[in-house]
Amino acid sequence: MATDLEIARATPLRPIQEIAARAGIPEDGLIPFGRHKAKVDFGVLAAAGQKQGKLVLVTGISPTAAGEGKTTTTIGLGDALNALGTRTMICLREPSLGPCFGVKGGATGGGRAQVAPMEDINLHFTGDFHAITSANNLLAAMVDNHLYWGNALGLDPRRVTWRRAMDMNDRNLRNMVVGLGGAVQGVPREDGFDITVASEVMAIFCLARDLDDLQARLGRIIVGATREGVSITAKDIKADGAMAALLRDALQPNLVQTLEGSPALVHGGPFANIAHGCNSVIATRLGLALADVVVTEAGFGADLGAEKFLDIKCPAAGLAPDAAVVVATVRALKMHGGVAKNALGPEDVAAVERGVVNLARHVENLRKFGLPVVVALNRFTSDTNAEIEAVQHAMARIGAEAFLCTHWGEGAAGAADLARAVQKLLDEGHARFKPLYEPALPLADKLRTIAREIYHATEVQIPPAIAARLAKFEEQGFGHVPVCVAKTQYSFSSDPTKLGAPEGHVLPVREVRLSAGAGFVVAVCGEIMTMPGLPRRPAAETIGLDAEGAIQGLF
C-alpha cells in the first residue's frame, strides 16, 4: 500500500494561480512561495466585502493511538462539497514541528484526502511559526534587557511570567535558571520554554482580526509584575511594535490545494489540549467571504478543540457555525471499549458498543451549543459490517446519523454521502448557535460549567492560591474573558487512562495563567505539560533524505 507521501508525490499539482482563480482570488492578490503555495494579500479580504458563507466545524472523538482521521475527513468533506457544485474553502491549522518529529510524522491529511505540497506544509512552510517564535523570544529578550539596564519599571524578577518558546518537543527546556555567569551575563532568575503552538503569541496571531488588532493584543501581553503587584505589559517594555513587525507578513493567510484541486487556507496552529486549537480568524473570515461553505477543523476531541472554537474563537470573531461533524473510527471506538491497539484486528462488536459512549457524548455536547450534528465514520479495511452497524444503531438511538466515509482511498467520492448530509443541514438552517456560558459569569464558574457540561465532572478542585489568582484577574478587569482549559486530550477527565465516557470525576486545577493579549484565562489541569517531550521512539528517527535528496519518512 502506498504511503501518504508517495500518494502526494504521485499526484500532479496545479499552479497556485489556478487554485487562486478557482477561489476567487485575483493573481495580483497572491504573494507566491514557489509554484504551489502563496500568501494572500490583506487587500483581498478587504476587497471581498462582508459576504458570509456557511461555516461547518469538523471535530472528533477523544483521540486514541488507533487514529481517527479528523484532518483527512475535513479535506475529504471539502473536496466532496466542491464535487457537488458547492463553492467550498477548507481552513486548517499549520502543523507543528514538535508532533511531526515526535509522534505524528506529518499532519496534512492522508491518502487521497491531503493538502499539498505535503513536505513543505509539514516542515517550514512559509515561515509563519518561525516568525511567531521570534516575536515571542524578542519579548523575552527585551524583558531581561530591561532588568539588566536598571529596571526603570520596577519589574520584580521573581514575578516575571513571560516564558521563551520553541517549536520543538524538548522536556529539558521546561524549567531552567537563566542569567548565570556573573553580573555582565544578565539577571539570574527562573525561566522556561513553552512549545510555540502553546504560546500566547500564537493565540494572539490566530485571534487577531487585522494588523491593528494584532499590535494592540501584543501590547496587552502581561510579562510580569512589580513587587506591589502592578502588571507590566509588552507595551510598557516597548516591544509590541517590533513584535508586530516580525509578524506582519506571517499574518497573511497561506493558500494551498488539496490533491483534488480544492483551495485550502492553512494558517496558524495553536494546540487544542494546551491552547485554543483553531486556525486563524483572518483565514476563516477570508474563506467565508470567498466561498459558499467553509469547512474548518478544531484540534483533538470535541471536548477540547470544538469547545474552544465555540466558546473562544467564535465569540471573539463574531462567527456563528451552521453545522458540526464528529469524526470517529471503529478502531478508536474499540480502544475506548477496552481493546489494546495490538488486538484491534478481530471483530469485536461488544467493544464497539462499550466504546461508542465516547462518540455519543461528543455528539450530545455539541448539541448544547445549538448545532445540528452528523457523524463521519472513517472506514478502515479491517472494519466489519457488524461493527459499523453497531455504531450506526447507537447513533440512531440518540437521533444522529453516521455516514460511512472512504475518502482516504477514494477522495471526494468516498465522502459524497457525508457531503450531501452536511449540505442538507445547511439548507435546512436549523443551527441556533449559543456559547456554553455568558461572559458575565465569574471565571471559576465558567470553569465549573465546562467541567460539568462537557467533561461530566462532579467537582473542580481549585486550591485557595489559584482561587485568589482568579479573583485577582477579575479585579484587573478580566472577569469577562473565556476560560481555555489545558488538559489531556485522551479523556474527558484529566486522567488519560479513563477512556470512554467517565462520569463523577474531579478536575484538579494545577495552575492558571492570564493571557491578556489573547483574551482568555488558561486553566492548567492534571499533569498536562505546555512543553511536550519526545516519545521513546520519535518519528524523527525515520525521517530523512533518500539518495536523490528527497524527504522520506513523513506520513
* Digit-coded pLDDT (tens) for 34-62: 999 999 999 998 888 777 899 999 999 99
The architecture in CATH of the region 4-127+250-428 reads 3-Layer(aba) Sandwich (3.40)
Residue 93 annotated to the active site: yes
Residue 413 annotated to the active site: no
Q: Is the pLDDT of residue 553 over 90?
A: no
Q: What is the pLDDT, as a whole number, of residue 178?
A: 94
Residue 380 annotated to the active site: yes
* Digit-coded pLDDT (tens) for 101-159: 998 767 899 999 999 999 999 999 999 999 999 999 999 999 999 999 999 999 999 99
Q: Is 379 left (phi over 0), alpha (psi -120 to 50) or beta?
A: beta
Q: How far apart are CA 90 and CA 55, in angstroms?
A: 10
Q: Is the pLDDT of residue 273 over 90?
A: no
Q: What is the pLDDT, as a whole number, of residue 478?
A: 97
Tell me which of 2-6, 254-258, 515-519 is least confident.
2-6
* Digit-coded pLDDT (tens) for 417-449: 999 999 999 999 999 999 999 999 999 999 999
Return the domain boundaries, the chain: 4-127+250-428, 128-247, 443-525
- Beta pairing class for 402-405 and 263-266: unpaired
Q: How far apart are CA 215 and CA 201, in angstroms?
A: 11
Q: How far apart are CA 305 and CA 290, in angstroms?
A: 25
Q: Catalytic pick from 33, 271, 408, 478? A: 408
Q: What is the pLDDT, as a whole number, of residue 4?
A: 87
* Digit-coded pLDDT (tens) for 447-466: 999 999 999 999 999 999 99
Cell of 164: 521563551
Q: What is the DSSP secondary-structure string of 426-489?
A: HHHT------SS-TTS-HHHHHHHHHHHTS--SEEE--HHHHHHHHHHHHTT-TTS-EEEE--S
Q: Taking the alpha carbons of 224, 468, 205, 278 in that order, is the dihedral positive or negative?
A: positive
Are 197 and 167 contacting, i.e. CB atoms less than 8 angstroms apart?
yes
66 Cβ neighbours under 8 A, 6+ residues apart: 329, 331, 332, 334, 335, 341, 344
Letter for the amino acid at 52?
Answer: Q
In b/e form, how buried is each residue of 415-440, taking b as 16+ CB within 10 angstroms?
A: bbbbbebbbebbeeeebeeebbbeee
Q: How far apart are CA 214 and CA 240, in angstroms?
A: 9
Q: What is the pLDDT, as a whole number, of residue 106?
A: 76
Q: Catalytic pick from 37, 54, 70, 448? A: 70
Residue 403 annotated to the active site: no
Mean pLDDT of 273-281: 92
Q: Catalytic pick from 37, 39, 93, 308? A: 93
3-class state of residue 115 by DSSP: strand
Residue 412 annotated to the active site: no
Are 66 and 60 contacting, i.e. CB atoms less than 8 angstroms apart?
no
Residue 272 annotated to the active site: yes
User: Which band of pLDDT confidence, cut at 50, 70 and 90, is reported for residue 67?
Assistant: confident
Look up the CATH number of domain 128-247. 3.30.1510.10
**Model's pTM, two decimal places?**
0.96
Half-sphere exposure of 463 (CA within 13 A, CB side): 11
Q: How far apart are CA 303 and CA 450, in angstroms?
A: 9
Cβ-based neighbour number of residue 414 at 10 Å: 22
Look up the CATH number of domain 443-525. 3.10.410.10
| 226 DSSP 8-state letter | B
Tally the residues of the chain.
Answer: 555
Closest CA to 120 of 129, 132, 133: 129
Of residues 213 and 273, the one with the higher pLDDT is 213
Are 330 and 387 contacting, i.e. CB atoms less than 8 angstroms apart?
yes
Mean pLDDT of 390-411: 97
Cell of 430: 436549523
State phi, psi for 216 to the nearest 5 degrees.
-60, -45
Which helix (H) or strand (E) segment holds residue 96: the answer is none
User: Which band of pLDDT confidence, cut at 50, 70 and 90, is reported for residue 290?
Assistant: very high
Residue 72 annotated to the active site: yes
Are 247 and 214 contacting, i.e. CB atoms less than 8 angstroms apart?
yes
Q: Is the pLDDT of residue 1 over 90?
A: no
Helix axes 200-207, 211-219, angle to 10 degrees: 150
Say what percent of the chain tops pLDDT 90: 92
* Digit-coded pLDDT (tens) for 343-389: 999 999 999 999 999 999 999 999 999 999 999 999 999 999 999 99
Are 411 and 83 contacting, i.e. CB atoms less than 8 angstroms apart?
no
Chain Cα centroid distance, residue 549: 32
Residue 149 annotated to the active site: no
Q: Catalytic pick from 64, 71, 72, 108? A: 72
What's the chain's average pLDDT? 96
* Digit-coded pLDDT (tens) for 80-112: 999 999 999 999 999 999 988 998 767 899 999
Q: Is the pLDDT of residue 220 over 80?
A: yes
Q: What is the pLDDT, as a whole number, of residue 27?
A: 93
**How far is the CA of 392 from the CAs of 109, 302, 352, 492, in angstroms?**
24, 19, 11, 22
